[in-house]
Structure 1
Amino acid sequence: MYFSLIICTYQRPHSLINLLESVSIQTMHPNEVLIIDGSEDDRTKNILNEQSYANLKYYQVKEKDRGLTRQRNFGISKTSIKSEIIFFLDDDTVVSTHYFEEILKVYRQVPEALGVSGYISNETRWRKVEESYTPCEKEYFFDGWVREEGARFSLRRKFGLAPDEKPGIMPDFSHGYSIGFLPPSDKIYEVELLMGGIASYKRIVFDKIRFSKYFEGYGLYEDADFSLRTSRMGKLYVNTAARIEHHHDVAGRPNKFKYGKMVVRNGWYVWRVKNPNPSLKARIKWNSTSFLLSLIRLGNIFNTKNRMEALTESFGRFIGWWSLMIKKPFARKNEKMQ
């Protein structure tokens, strides 16, 4: 398969080099690697000029094409017409040696697949257990593996707000388990939500839809929106054997108030993309969960070192929640579910 890799970057030259080094030693190398640089300086451009990477194409975009959503759409427009699969990787990730080989294996085994993502291996500790294992209150058990679930899910369960779908499937009231709750089993799982920074899609998907203009700017949850719309056209999968590490780089991210506001408003938008006409029960559960999670984040000012971040993000969440009563975001007609 002829395949392309798009890496959108912003002010992270050293993280980008770490990723490119891991790409350079792949068992199957991309036919083209497109760097879409939204940086406001030339550090990334200069450091790439000092290196030599196979099949690399560099684009430094202007203000009108800056931002994750715009840069991804720009990158798609620059890929070769021969490309069958288009990969996306965040600039602060590092891929295992067989990453692309494992992803392409899914497309061969499941011809109807429209999208496949890899698996982040360095964020959660899992342990293999017997199928008869009974998890304790703070544990999450799935497919013979167990991990710590987290206090917020335990608290949600006490209020009847726990997710009622498998990881990667959005419940009617949203607020489900992310694909990070899939275990490192080396299995392939069908989902409807893919993480944009480690996702790939068949080129035919982009002949019908692009990343939504609603998320232009930082673009929180733009990947959920895109994968949900794609899942209406075909099947999506996660291959947990395609391992990738995510080394969170805070450079280029918005302040915590804006982030908290986006968590709620963009979360509402994505929920209504999946469920445009939710039941009264789903509406109550979405609002109750959003409010509870905002309270939990506010409570972090008492149990974390970054108290100011917890305070400003929680305020952003509350403001975002109240703002929905005044003005709700809606998808443009040409960006609704297919």
Structure 2
Amino acid sequence: MKFSLLVCTYKRAMPLLQLLESVAVQTCYPSEILIIDGSVDDETSLMLSNNLFLNLTYFKVSSEDRGLTRQRNFGIKKASSDSEILCFLDDDTVLEADYFENLLDAYAIYPEALGVGGYINNEVIWTKTDPNYIAKSNEFTFDGWKRNEGKRFVLRKKLGLDSNVPPGFSPSFSHGRSIGFLPPSGKIYETQQLMGGVSSFRKSVFDKLQFSTYFEGYGLYEDADFTLRVSNIGKLFVNTNAKLAHYHNESGRPNKYDYGKMVVRNGYYVWRVKNPKPSLKSKVKWHAITWLLTVVRSTNILDKSSIKRKEAFTESLGRTIGWWSLLFNKPKISHL
């Protein structure tokens, strides 16, 4: 099965090099690697000129194609016509040696799959549980595994605002649990959503759908929007054996105020694309959870670290302004 790897990058030359070094030792190597660079400097091109990788093609995009979703759509057009699978990776990930092999295995096991996601294994500590284990209030359990809950989910459970669908699925009021709440069981799980930076899709999907250009620049939640639309026409899966690490490099990220606004406005957009006519109960829940998460984030202003206090304040302000902006300037919803 021929597959292409597309990596959209922005001012992360050294993290990209680490990723490519992990690609170089894969048990299944990509038919082509497309690097789509939106950087305004030449650090990435210089790094690649000093480090050669098999089947790699580099593209430096102009301003009209800069931004995560635009770069992805650009790369899709450049992918080889005989590639069956297009794989997407964030530029600050590092793969285990059998990542692509396990990813492709899922397509063989589930030939109806339109997309398969990988599994990030360096962010959460999971523990195997006994069959009759009863979770504590600050724990989340799934399929015989447990992990600690964050403050936001503890409060949501107490207030009756927890997600009522499995991880990777979207409830009618949105604010579900991400695929990060799937355990390292070695199983393949069906989902409605994939993380864009650890995803893959059949190339035929892009004959019908593309990444939405509503999500400018950093593109927060663009992956949720796209994969929810893909799940309307076919099945998506996550293979927890396709493992990689994600290091969340800070370079190229928006400031916390803009990020806070994106959390609310982009979250609203994704919710209404999936649920164009939500019930009154779902509307109340979406807004209640949005405000609860804003309040939880604002409590970090009390942190003794001045940097973290400033970040918490500016992000909370961005979330607040983002919510108020919905009253008079809602995002224009597109179902393309």
The two structures have a TM-score, normalised by structure 2, of 0.98
Name the amino acid aligned to 1:323. Answer: S
Correspondence for 1:120: 120
What amino acid is aligned across from residue 229 of structure 1 in structure 2?
Answer: R
Residue ranges of structure 2 left out of the alignment (5+ in a row): none
CA separation in 1, counterparts of 2:146 and 2:52? 43
**Structure 1, unaligned runs of 5 or more:** none
Q: Tell me how far apart the structure 2 counterparts of residues 5 and 192 of structure 1 sit (CA, whole Å).
A: 22
Query: 1:119 and 1:329 mapped to 2: Cα distance?
Result: 31
Q: Distance in 1 between matches of 2:159 and 2:146?
A: 23
1:329 maps to 331
SS at match of 2:147: strand
Q: 1:260-313 CA distances to partner (integer Å, 9 max, x unpaired)?
A: 000000000001111110000000000000011001101111136310000000
Q: What is the distance in 2 between the residues matched to 1:102 and 1:303?
A: 42
Q: In structure 2, how many angstroms separate the alpha carbons of the residues matched to 1:285 and 1:331?
A: 20
Corresponding position of 1:102? 102
> 2:322 is matched with which residue?
320
Counterpart in the other structure of 1:286? 286
Q: Contact 1:85–1:202 at 8 Å: present in 2 too? A: yes
Residues 196 and 301 of structure 1, relative CA distance in 2, 3 Å threshold: same
Secondary structure at 2:282 match in 1: helix
1:195 Cα deviation from its structure 2 partner: 0.3
Kept after mapping to 2: 8 A contact 1:93/1:245: yes
Rounded to whole Å, the distance in 1 between the matches of 2:139 and 2:304 is 22
Q: Is the 8 A contact 1:86 1:201 kept in 2?
A: yes
1:67 counterpart = 2:52: no
Alpha-carbon contact 1:9-1:38 (below 8 Å) kept:
yes
So what's the TM-score if we normalise by structure 1?
0.98
Answer whether contact 1:5 1:34 (CA < 8 A) is retained: yes
Which residue pairs with 2:173 in the alignment?
A: 173
Q: State the Cα deviation string for residues 35-63 of structure 1 (Å, max 9, x = none).
A: 00011011110010011101000001111
Query: Which secondary structure does the structure 1 equivalent of 2:214 belong to?
Result: helix
- What residue in structure 2 maps to residue 268 of structure 1? 268
Aligned residues: 334
Letter of the aligned partner of 2:73 in structure 1?
N
Any idea what SS the aligned residue of 1:213 has?
Answer: coil
Q: Which amino acid aligns with 2:309?
A: R
Matches within 5 A, 1:157-306: 157-303=157-303, 305=305, 306=308
Check conservation: 1:212, 1:222, Cα contact below 8 A: yes
Q: Which amino acid aligns with 1:10?
A: Y
Bigger mean CA deviation after superposition, 323-332 or 276-285:
323-332
1:131·1:143 contact (CA, 8 Å) conserved in 2?
no
| Aligned 8 A contact 1:173 1:286 in 2 | yes
Equivalent residue, structure 1, for 2:313:
311
Q: Distance in 2 between matches of 1:117 and 1:146?
A: 21
Q: Distance in 2 between matches of 1:247 and 1:220?
A: 17
